[in-house]
Structure 1
């Protein structure tokens, strides 16, 4: 059963504000937490990860404690940089372009907004991505 109450309301509100401002983006319940999609493609997912229940996430994040985790898409040099940046970023092994980020007290919300916008552009049709970043 999906549990959206696991995501701190202030985190969910901030992420929703950024994601839902993007053309045709929508929010829906995920298997755990909440995800944002463009058409039928997920570009962001937030959940509080319980290491006993979401072992792959916990292993990727290198944690044995519950954490609030945001996953999103990235490519190219940014993907490489984030994959090797260390905390708060981590690189799950289930998709080549997915990056994870631990959302904690030190989160840079301006950086999160930029990363989510870029993730949207990775997944969105070129016409919609151009509305955000200009012609590709």
Structure 2
């Protein structure tokens, strides 16, 4: 049985320098110095609309590009979607290596330069 999405997402996010988990709106959010870079939206919560997903800060244009490429997997999340955040469905066939890359990219957008450089140095 594959690990639960929350377990996998937590493992990826909390491996980043100084990242921490804070529950907000009934969901785990992942932050660097109190700025959110990732948030889980659970299937049973209205945020997830029946499917577990992660919402991530994304660089300009990435949301549109990914939704166009695979609208079943990627979406514009409520509340933060208009700001360019990217939603990724975390179903049974989630590509966790890809999710990890998007999480690291989101972290780099939020993290202070010193921490982003530390992440880059770690590989």
Normalised by the size of structure 1, how large is the TM-score?
0.75
- Work out whether 1:91 is the aligned partner of 2:76: yes
Say which of 69, 81, 84 aligns to 2:53.
69
Query: How many Å apart are 1:97 and its aligned residue?
Result: 2.4
- Work out whether 1:78 is the aligned partner of 2:62: yes
| Aligned match of 1:20 | 14
Determine helix, strand or coil for the equivalent of 1:75.
coil
What CA distance in whole angstroms lies between the structure 2 residues aligned with 1:122 and 1:80? 17
Q: CA contact under 8 A between 1:32 and 1:47: conserved in structure 2?
A: no
The gaps in structure 2 that reach 5 residues or longer are none
| Aligned match of 2:97 | 110
Determine helix, strand or coil for the equivalent of 1:42.
strand
| 1:15 to 1:128, Cα distance in 2 relative to 1, 3 A | same
RMSD of aligned residue pairs (Cα, Å) = 2.0
Greater alpha carbon shift after TM alignment, 112-121 vs 92-101: 92-101
Larger radius of gyration between Structure 1 and Structure 2: 1
- Superposition misfits of 4+ residues, deviation over 2 angstroms: 76-80, 92-95
Q: CA contact under 8 A between 2:74 and 2:88: conserved in structure 1?
A: yes
Matched residue count:
116
| Aligned match of 1:30 | 24
Query: How many Å apart are 1:10 and its aligned residue?
Result: 1.9
Greater alpha carbon shift after TM alignment, 94-103 vs 119-128: 94-103
